[in-house]
Structure 1
Amino acid sequence: MDAVLSRLFSSEEEELYMLDCMAYLMVFMAACTFLILLFENVPYGRYSSSRYGFPVNARFAWFVQELPAILVPLCLLLWTSSAKSSLLPNQLLIAMYLCHYVQRSLIYPFLIRGGKPTPFVSFALAIVFCIYNGYMQIRYLSHYAEYPADWVTHPCFITGSLLWLVGWLVNMHSDHILRNLRKPGETGYKIPRGGMFDYVSGANFLGEITEWAGFALAGHSVHSSAFAIFTTVVLASRAVAHHKWYHGKFEDYPKTRKALIPFVL
């Protein structure tokens, strides 16, 4: 792996510059995605459409599309070497990233009960994103990120880590509520209740947005910030779409429940 990257980049400065460019490109793509999502819902789940390619089984799609987010970082960590990867702040940030994707790829897909197929285009784009982001985040953290010796006691790191943990727990708990909405043999949609769903329609999305916002605060880099921005754009749009859909579907949908931010939005 080191030999391959050495052939691609003649110096560490060149690779770091490329990683920075990748982050800025992700921010640009977030802006483009924001504009697109003003007119079109993210095409998967209840918004799936045959226009976006043939359907892919939901469990298979989640497993395969998220797997590169684990495999690419593991390849980088196992087959490249750097003193940065042995530093505590870097290790903790890498652990946060991997903890999310291990759950999302190796556990979550096998807990899904049914689930609408994912259009191939959405499936393919998710794979590309996980490869791109997995390389950008872990290569930066394992080889280039430099933090003060006391960074793990800095308010930004402590606050960010707590936000990440809260978001991760909210995300998992909300997924648990959604999985258990229907009893065995039941079909159709139901109103989710409990946890953060008592306050917002997109509780699972709020959890993941909080997670990566905390990661960005703790990581304090353009790379982690770009990831948080892109995630917020995509998931906020989906939360708003769900909120509108619920109100159109259920006459008794709670009127005080917001789309994404409790009591606000």
Structure 2
Amino acid sequence: MDILLSTLYSSEEQELYVLDCMAYFMVFMAACTFVTLLFENVPYGRYATSKYGFPVNARFAWFVQELPAFLVPLCLLLWTSSSKTSLLPNQLLIAMYFCHYVQRSLIYPFLIRGGKPTPFASFALAFVFCIYNGYMQIRYLGHFAEYPAYWITHPCFIIGSVLWLVGWVVNLHSDHILRNLRKPGETGYMIPTGGMFEYVSGANFFGEITEWAGFALAGHSVHSSAFAIFTIVVLASRAVAHHKWYCAKFENYPKSRKALIPFVF
């Protein structure tokens, strides 16, 4: 893989420049996505329509679209000269990334119960994003990111790591609640309760946003920040759409429950 990268880039400086441009382009795409989502829900699940392409089985879609986010970084670490992976801050940040995507690509898809098909357009875009972001995050952390020796004791790293862990746990617990909403034989939508769902309609989204915001704070780079910004834009839109949908569908939906931020929004 080093040979492939050496044919693509004339120098390490050029590759780092491209990685920086990729991060800024992701921020730009986040802004475009934000504007688009003011007028259109993300086309998946209950919001899916045929205009976004033929339906793809939910389990298959999740597994295939998320797998590059695990495989591309793994290949980069195994088959390139990842000179920064011996440094503890880099190791911890890479571990955070892999903890999420090992669960998301290799475990979560096989826990899905039912699940509405994913439109092909959403599936394809997610697949491309996972390749793009997986390369950007892990290539930077594995080969370019340099942190001072004291970084793991810096408040940004400590607070960011705690936020990542809290978000990861909330995300996992919220997914567990959603999977177990219906008893065997039951159908239809139900109001989720327990955990962060007592406070927000998008508890799973709140967890993942917290997770990557913490990762960005701990990573302290334009690359991790771009990922967090993009995540916030997409998942905040989903949380708001879910909240509006729940409020319209269920007359007894808790009035005190917010969309995404407890007690605030």
Match of 1:35 in 2: 35
CA deviations over 1:194-247 (Å, ceiling 9, x no partner): 000000000000000000000000000000000000000000000000000000
Between the two proteins, the alignment pairs up a number of residues equal to 265
| 1:177 equivalenced with 2:201 (yes/no) | no
| 1:245 equivalenced with 2:240 (yes/no) | no
| Displacement of 1:86 | 1.0
Q: Report the secondary structure of 1:67's partner residue.
A: helix
Q: Matched residues in 2 for 1:143 and 1:35: separation?
A: 34
| Displacement of 1:150 | 1.2
| Displacement of 1:82 | 3.0
1:52-71 paired onto structure 2 within 5 Å: 52-71=52-71
Gaps of 5+ in 1: none
Match of 1:232 in 2: 232
| Displacement of 1:54 | 0.4
Please say which of residues 84-93 and 217-226 is displaced more in the overlay. 84-93
Match of 1:203 in 2: 203
Q: Matched residues in 2 for 1:244 and 1:82: separation?
A: 46
Q: Matched residues in 1 for 2:223 and 2:7: separation?
A: 23
Q: Matched residues in 2 for 1:12 and 1:43: separation?
A: 39
> What TM-score do the two structures reach when normalised by structure 2?
0.99
The two structures, once aligned, show a CA RMSD in angstroms of 0.5
Gaps of 5+ in 2: none
Q: Matched residues in 2 for 1:49 and 1:203: separation?
A: 25
Residue identity over aligned pairs, in percent, reads 86
Q: Matched residues in 2 for 1:71 and 1:172: separation?
A: 21
Tell whether the 8 Å contact from 2:76 to 2:82 is kept in structure 1 after alignment. Answer: no
Structure 1 counterpart of 2:210, which letter?
A: T
Match of 1:163 in 2: 163
| Displacement of 1:83 | 2.4
Match of 1:116 in 2: 116
Q: Report the secondary structure of 1:59's partner residue.
A: helix
Q: Report the secondary structure of 2:248's partner residue.
A: helix
Structure 1 counterpart of 2:206, which letter?
A: L
Match of 1:88 in 2: 88
CA deviations over 1:8-66 (Å, ceiling 9, x no partner): 10111000000000000000000000000000000001101100000000000000000
1:3-82 paired onto structure 2 within 5 Å: 3-82=3-82
Q: Report the secondary structure of 1:257's partner residue.
A: coil
Tell whether the 8 Å contact from 2:44 to 2:118 is kept in structure 1 after alignment. Answer: yes
Q: Matched residues in 2 for 1:141 and 1:78: separation?
A: 14
Runs of 4+ residues over 4 Å off in structure 1? none
